[in-house]
Amino acid sequence: MKDLLHALGLGTNTAAVLIAAVSFLILYFLGLENWLGVSFSVIAGLAAGVVIGQATEYYTSQSYTPTKAISEASHTGAATVIIKRYWYGYDFNLHSCPVYFRSNHAELSLC
């Protein structure tokens, strides 16, 4: 499973880098006045997408702690599963929402 997750991460990161490079070129050749700001806006959005994607992978993959902890909580009953799921959902949103809001702020301020 780790090999599959590694390949998925490599593909995602490679695609993000290629999109960033191509967006610089396309926006430059289009002749936009603020092509550099728009390019950095694209990079801010790509970075936020990659970070949120990695966080989603961490919180939902069977290879990492959150899903293992939820499955271990099932030994004690349904209530502990609900509490663990609620806690890890809260923890995910606590980390991903600031990334989303900061990237939106960066994108708007760069354009």
Give CA angle at 66 (14, 60), nearest 5°. 45
Residue 2 pLDDT class (50, 70, 90 cuts): confident
Structure tokens at 95: 């980390």
pLDDT at residue 47 is higher than 90:
yes
Quote the pTM value: 0.81
pLDDT score for 25 = 94
pLDDT at residue 111 is higher than 80:
no
pLDDT score for 22 = 95
- Chain centroid to Cα 33, Å, comes to 30
